[in-house]
Structure 1
């Protein structure tokens, strides 16, 4: 391939990445700030994490705790997903990372996705379904019809017991589990996704590096 062509392709790719980054930052900046951004949880909640919260990484007692309130259909959450995965690897053994459901009402399938992930969690496949949702977000995000059949297909591909999966999806307790995370998020001042808490302090997101800085600040304490 001609060297000039290679340079042009590389330059174009860089422009695309820059544009995507600007779009995500614009989305984050457009989201309303939370009243709890400068402090910890409200007095009624001792922590951003509960005993039944889903832990993806457990670094043990004394570790920095990172909690993400997320919506699987949220484009900003999807954009942050690879950033989070890189940070989980970089700070492995130093941070405990938990996820909590916060399906936004404006997203048609966000609650369906959260229920599917919770149903998978009941069979020990939380992270596998969490990963699948974000890796396939472009295929089903913004759909205006239920994508629950697609999520069931994901469950089958992951080798889940479909009878158990179907029962969990239909069980009101599964929805209640999702909604309990959402209710806690509201009480904590969560108004948009993704919202991160680092050692129970909400992180104000204006750029991808803000989460790293918050983690590093806690590790340096």
Structure 2
């Protein structure tokens, strides 16, 4: 084979390899690319929606606290009494909102959220919210479904059980939970509890960080 022909073949082979490599690179990056961030500095999802569950409503102009929570999360359980103390201390002064963020690693977190949402449809969210956290040690970290336990809580609360069962089985109830979860992901929530005070995400280091943030928001008004 003449040197010129051999050189041409090698050059073409190298070009083909480079082109194929470039195509693979582009395809891989297209598939793994995250959704584009907002360019105007605004969040990619609302911290609070009109449909979000409000446990305490202090009216227009009040400081708004939002908690993305997982009922099976031990850290959420540890913060629960802190939150309840703050809800009592600032009753009438803060609006408290909860949003579901069931972590995939917790087997019963979504079952618990379904129970809470089914109770919410009967106006009893706060009662189920308290029941789930106050009994977390009894069912948390179980390696099998505890849906029957949550149904028992609904019976204890005196809920309409046919309506409860229908709500738990309804795909719309799951979709309602997913709205919160998807908003949390879009906002960058990756652990629970995650708190927002007047739309600002908190970086928690101590239990009193939440109260300090509430006080700072009040003083800033």
TM-score by length of 1: 0.80
2:218 matches 1:213? no
- 1:175 is matched with which residue? 174
- 1:63 is matched with which residue? 62
Cα distance, 1:96 vs. partner?
0.2
Cα distance, 1:58 vs. partner?
0.3
Cα distance, 1:42 vs. partner?
4.4
- 1:201 is matched with which residue? 200
Q: Is the 8 A contact 2:66 2:98 kept in 1?
A: yes
| Larger-gyration structure (1/2) | 2
Q: Distance in 1 between matches of 2:76 and 2:185?
A: 18
CA offsets 1:123-165 (integer angstroms, 9 cap, x no match): 1110000000000000000000000000000000000011000
Q: Which has the higher contact order (CA 8 A, sep 6+)?
A: 1
The runs of at least 4 consecutive aligned structure 1 residues that moved more than 4 Å come to none
Q: Is the 8 A contact 1:67 1:196 kept in 2?
A: yes
- 1:19 is matched with which residue? none
- 1:131 is matched with which residue? 130
Q: How has the CA–CA distance of structure 1 residues 42 and 145 changed in structure 2, closer, same or farther, with 3 Å as cutoff?
A: farther
Q: Is the 8 A contact 1:53 1:100 kept in 2?
A: yes
Cα distance, 1:43 vs. partner?
3.5
Q: Is the 8 A contact 1:64 1:94 kept in 2?
A: yes
Q: Distance in 1 between matches of 2:184 and 2:65?
A: 14
- 2:82 is matched with which residue? 83
TM-score by length of 2: 0.80
Unaligned runs of 5+ in 1: 1-40
Q: Is the 8 A contact 1:42 1:187 kept in 2?
A: no
2:116 matches 1:94? no
- 1:13 is matched with which residue? none
Q: Distance in 2 between matches of 1:76 and 1:43?
A: 25
Cα distance, 1:63 vs. partner?
0.4
Cα distance, 1:93 vs. partner?
1.2
CA offsets 1:27-65 (integer angstroms, 9 cap, x no match): xxxxxxxxxxxxxx84333x4111000000000000000
**How many corresponding residue pairs?**
180
- 1:22 is matched with which residue? none
Q: Is the 8 A contact 1:42 1:188 kept in 2?
A: no
- 1:15 is matched with which residue? none
